[in-house]
Chains A and B, each alone.
Chain A
């Protein structure tokens, strides 16, 4: 009994804390709203600069590691080959890292910035449009992937190369030693579970409302809460089926389907949309993005438009960091057998380029309608962000079909995200077991879906989102320490190989071969 309790400490503690917070969100949504709003604004007001510096540090660290001598090390034993093909790997990376968010914000974000840029830029001007595209690239570009890479690289290195369980706490062994198996390690893992749970609940809640909006625009279904709850129920059944079939089948097949659907939708829009305009937007924004990357990375705008930075850039950075344990662990679990250089370059460049294309196509088409077509699509988006993509489709041929494909894409992304999140949650609460028991997957799956339903009903979803962003502050410190631990681990290994000392893992490899 005692062993069972010890084995499930993280599971029980995380489940208990999350249920308590959720109960607060149901019982007294106002109180949760007040607490979360106060915490959130205090953190963003006081540590915004820290998020900016840390995010840039993660980007520099990732590039430095890829270019360094450590880039040659493999995430696994030296003879191992990657478990997934490039297409499967990129598909799963993209689905876990961006997924629903990109569909949600692909049109909405550039249009929102265009209408409401920082105070020093005139709204609805050419400058505002350039700013809107550049900052959409910035918020969804290299930085989020660098944040994910730090966590996933650390987890993959310490688990696949050093033979430890794939948990965030395992990465702290060089610093904490055996204490990772005690309260300190539990605390790190519980925080990771909570950040993952709250992040995925809010993301699914928002995704479900967008699916409902899409369905309402092409069918008789009303855009109401009961439809959203129905959507969540159907999707829950589907992702539970996918989840119990395992990583190799369920998530991989769904992710590949996602990418194919997304590419199909994007190609169609590129062809029927303002193709030359889109390519001009892509080229110009790429130039602006790379030439002002450092400026944007460190710009908290204390003199002008700090509110804008707080509401967008700092929100995103905190959001990506709060998602990092989930995406980090998932990406780590699919990256065994790749070299560190291949892993960093692949995970940073390919999804980023795809994201840039996505924003150029959909954001560019939206801006084209707004600026050249004299359609106030931005005004409609400002009223309801979740309808942005469907509003855009309504001005193009086959709009119902496009909406249907987009809803399908959203549902598949929804299922993939929920599937991978329950897998990661079950793994984190099973001592890093790469094949966690199904009952834990089901428990987390039901918790995620039920929480999303309840909070949509009680109105506590925004509060929960703020709570997950609050978890990003301690997690930023954890990530900075992760970089240091990773550095210590790789330096140790490099020192051993350069001085000819035998590495225990390599001797394990010899025994295996």
Chain B
């Protein structure tokens, strides 16, 4: 877990952003960092650019290995991550919504298809001198929290001054059921607090009622100036969800901070 990292490279991304993310990855002391370039036709210019990135990463002490693939970009990324058991690291830049609607999004396709965690790095994380983030927020529906997500939060490299454990749930249909629901939510949050003691100066738990879960998570992250948002992958459910996307998709698309998506099946 958090040992191998896969960087799918795309020529449009500035080098300094890639290196900023590489600095972040360095604190995880990775066993291997894979640089993946999926090409079609003539690619000598891109390979030359990849050489430069590889060299810079090696200079900061990352054990880099290059992968060159041909074909459907999301499938190649997913396959490479699966065969190397790596976390897929994307640098997310803002995309024109029309272009996204017409051409699709590699990130969305990879998140949908992948069974490996995906890190979407959005901006330079404000590291403290001792490699500690200001705040990490884990938005949970408790579905995979104990079995999967909490293990990532417990990782020694993932340190922050503040950990926020957020649960956004729909209100029960009556006050008695709602009281029971809230009791269960708080019991689950307490359990997560005791499981997440490692590496955090303060742990806050929040139970929020909301129908539009993604909107609540995003507004909470913005209000609390969260640096990294950790979320389990929840597939889009229901008739409309299949068209509009699920909570996870809405969160990583619209979050202003970096997002770590952890698939439930792991």
Contacts and interface: CB of A to CB of B under 8 A. Distances in A.
B209 A162 contact: no
B176 A173 contact: no
Given A488-B211, A504-B180, A173 B174 contact: yes
A488 B170 contact: yes
Interface string B159-187: 00000000000111111111010000000
B172 A174 contact: yes
A162 B211 contact: no
A503 B177 contact: yes
Interface in A153-173: 157-158, 162-164, 173
Contact of A173 (B171, B180, B211): B171
B176 A174 contact: no
B22 to A, nearest CB: 42
Contacts of B172: 174, 492
A505 interface: yes
The size bracket of the interface on B is: 10 to 19
A109 interface: no
A489 B211 contact: no
A280 B30 CA distance: 84
Contacts of A508: 176
Interface centre among B171, B174, B175, B178 (most CB of A within 10 A): B174
Given A175-B211, A488-B211, A504-B180, A158 B173 contact: yes
Contacts of B211: 175, 488
A180 to B, nearest CB: 9
Given A175-B211, A488-B211, A162 B173 contact: yes
Contacts of B176: 163, 504-505, 508
A493 interface: yes
Nearest to B180: A504
A274 B177 CA distance: 59
A489 B177 CA distance: 11
B173 A493 contact: yes
Nearest to A493: B173
Interface in B232-265: none
Interface in B206-236: 209, 211
A430 B170 CA distance: 29
A496 to B, nearest CB: 8
B171 to A, nearest CB: 5
Nearest to A176: B171
A182 interface: no
A162 B170 contact: no
A489 B174 CA distance: 8
Interface string A483-509: 000001100110000000001110010
A65 to B, nearest CB: 15
A61 to B, nearest CB: 14
Interface centre among B170, B173, B174 (most CB of A within 10 A): B173
A163 B174 contact: yes
A508 B172 CA distance: 16
B209 A489 contact: no
Contacts of B177: 162, 492, 503-505
Nearest to B172: A492
Contacts of B209: 177
B141 to A, nearest CB: 11
A41 to B, nearest CB: 36
A493 B174 CA distance: 11
Given A175-B211, A488-B211, A162 B178 contact: no
A173 B175 contact: yes
Contact of B171 (A174, A493, A505): A174
Contacts of B170: 174, 488, 492
A503 to B, nearest CB: 7
A157 B173 CA distance: 10
Contacts of A162: 173-174, 177
A489 B178 CA distance: 11
A503 B175 CA distance: 12
A81 B163 CA distance: 51
Interface string B175-201: 111101000000000000000000000
Contact of A164 (B171, B174, B180): B174
Nearest to A501: B184
Interface centre among A158, A177, A492, A503 (most CB of B within 10 A): A492
Given A488-B211, A504-B180, A177 B174 contact: no
A427 to B, nearest CB: 19
B264 to A, nearest CB: 14
Interface in B126-174: 170-174
B261 to A, nearest CB: 23
A198 to B, nearest CB: 31
B134 to A, nearest CB: 32
29 contacts: A157-B173, A162-B173, A162-B174, A163-B176, A173-B173, A173-B174, A173-B175, A173-B178, A174-B170, A174-B171, A174-B172, A174-B173, A175-B171, A175-B211, A177-B178, A177-B209, A178-B175, A488-B170, A488-B171, A488-B173, A492-B170, A492-B173, A493-B173, A504-B174, A504-B176, A504-B177, A505-B174, A505-B176, A505-B177
The 6 closest A-B pairs by CB, nearest first: A489-B173, A162-B174, A504-B177, A504-B176, A162-B173, A504-B180
Given A163-B174, A488-B171, A492-B172, 11 more contacts: A157-B173, A162-B173, A173-B174, A173-B175, A174-B173, A175-B171, A177-B178, A492-B173, A504-B176, A505-B177, A508-B176
Interface of A: 157-158, 162-164, 173-175, 177-178, 488-489, 492-493, 503-505, 508
